[in-house]
Each structure stands twice: as C-alpha cells, then as structure tokens.
Structure 1
Amino acid sequence: MTLPPHFTTLDLSGRFVLNPTLSDSVDDILSLQGITDATLRRSFAHGILSFNHCIGEDDGVFEHIWVDQELEGQRIHSDEKLALDGRERVHYDPLLGPVVGRISRVKTHRLEPPFLRSGWTPDTRKYGVLNYHVSSGGGRGWVADETWGIEEITGLRHFARHIEFTGADGKNVESHLVYDYVGSI
C-alpha cells in the first residue's frame, strides 16, 4: 500500500514492510555486518518496521522516533529510541550488538554523496530527510550513513531509505530500500 497523502518526514509514524521488487538487495550489507544465516536474511525482507514519531519536549529533545523492527518468523525484536538532536548514543541491537548512532533532520543539498540526497519528493526536500549515521560498536568496523524520506515511484508515494555502507574491509555498498505502508501504529 502507498503512503497516505498527508504523510511527510515531519511525522513518519506507521508500519512498513520492505518492497523487494522496488528495493536493492540487502544481502551485501547484512553479510558485511556479520549476518550470514540465510533464514535470518529472509526474515529481514519480510519483517515489519514500525516508527512512532513524537514531537514535543522529552529529556530536553524536541523530536524522537521509536524504531521497532520485528523479523518475520524470528523471536528477535529490535526496539530503539532515536532523539533527532545529532548527538551520538550507544544502543544494543540483539543481532548486531552495540551500535553507535546519531540522527538529525538535514536539508538534502547539504548531503554527500549525491546518492543520499537524490530522488526525494518536494515535501521531503522542503522539510528535510532524516540522516542516520550508525556504526558498529563492537569492533567490527562497519559504518552506515542513511537518509530516510519519501519518494514517488511510478506515481506512488513510498517511504524509502538510501544507505551508503562501508564494511570493515573497506568495501562500499549503496542500497536503495523502498517500503510499502501497511498501516498506522
């Protein structure tokens, strides 16, 4: 299902599933993160990604997103609270171990490489993408720079992520992930 017409990066609240037809494969990124189990990789492609985007004061930060990822057929559940203030925070991911991340709202013209800033809808460019920089905290040495926003694909609006990923071995992967909206939180 496509996004409701009112949906923008000012409120990403909703439930999403990866659209494998419109998305690049995540296999290279998962492999570089040390996730080699084929069943686990498939569960990523069919799991539910949920966002609860909150605006308002909480711990001195104006904007928060609670990210919840349920992997299909797995008892693994990742729950992360992100404060859109650009400050680094450590989070323990059940699959990846400790990760260090920071997220903020950024105007697209400020982003490098061009892959991170291209393809967004006019409202996403107006309000900014969410730029999430995350790296392994357990010595595995990978880094991901992501942009989250809205794209129009074949005339339909979708939530999307652009990921610029560098593995510990220096291998770079660009991945474009497109999601179908499956409902509100």
Structure 2
Amino acid sequence: MTSYYNGFPQSDRDEAIDMINLDELEERAKEVMPEGAYYYIASGSENEWTWRNNIAAFNHFQIVPRALTNMDNPQLDTEFMGMKLKTPVMISPIACHGISHKDAEVATQKGAAAAGALFSSSTYANKSVEDIAAAAPDAPRFFQLYLSKDWDFNEMVFEAIKKAGYKGIFLTVDALVSGYREANLRT
C-alpha cells in the first residue's frame, strides 16, 4: 500500500540493505526509495556545484593506517561536546524524512542510536521533537533551528527541545527561501 506525504509517495518498506561501501548504499537506496525522495536527499541546490565541491573536499582527507602499532582492538569511541559516542559520525539535519519513509525521523533517530552516532533533527522534520526523543531517550541529539522573525516561535522551539532532552542547537542562517533544486524539478 502506498501512502503519501505532501504529494510525495512514502515507502513503508523495512528491510536490511546489504552493502560494502557508501556507493553501494546509495545505489541500493535509489532502488528502494521513492524517486522524488531519493533526489531530494541525494542532490543539492542549483546545478549542485557546492555539493560536488563538498564531496571533493571530504574525499581529499585520507585515513592513514597505523601499521605495526599494536592495534589489536581499535576503537571508534569518541567524545563530542561532553557526549560519549560509539562512532565519530553525525547524522546531519535533513528536512522531511517523511517523504522517504513513513517512520521519518523516528526511524533515523533509532538507527543513529543503535550505531552510537549523533543525530540532528531539522526544524522541518516530519515528526515532533517529542516523538523523535522518545524513539531513543538516552541517545544524544541536536536540533537544527531555522531562526524565525517570530521570537515567540523561537522560544517555543527552545523550550520544546530542552524539555525533550536535545543537547545542542545548530543555527541555520542561510535559508531565506527554499533552495532551487534542479534534480527535484526533473522528478
């Protein structure tokens, strides 16, 4: 059965995705996600110039193996702003998880918690901060806030995320209008 969120078909598939690397994950996700949702998540604004340059900058850094250093039991554990994480990974805020799956940010929070990663929810999440927090009550999480000119709204958000146990806020100040996303125009 297909359900829809704001005109986008949603997936309700729950299955393991077998993959060995991120390229394989991206290809498999493309096969199982609704097309519009996939291109919303796997693309950038305009002609994707910034997106491509960000990938190139990320790929510029290399992980250098530490051979012959008695690394019998390597650990990925780390600490970020006083939070202990099992892995040095943060799930960046992405709006509207509900366009890709009916469980939206609740499922993403559960996955991040299972991996020991930090999850950051968007102001434009499809699930409430309370529902996201309830999915993994002890997991670390941040909130991405698009500041509003309405300070009563901002204060309401601050109170809600504080009450729900969010540990920090990422402020987004460069989104005055929705991005012009060419990949989404095509789908």
The interval holding the TM-score normalised by the smaller chain is under 0.3
In terms of fraction of residues, the more strand-rich structure is 1
Q: Which has the higher contact order (CA 8 A, sep 6+)?
A: 1
Larger radius of gyration: 2
Please, what TM-score do these two structures have when normalized by structure 2? Answer: 0.24
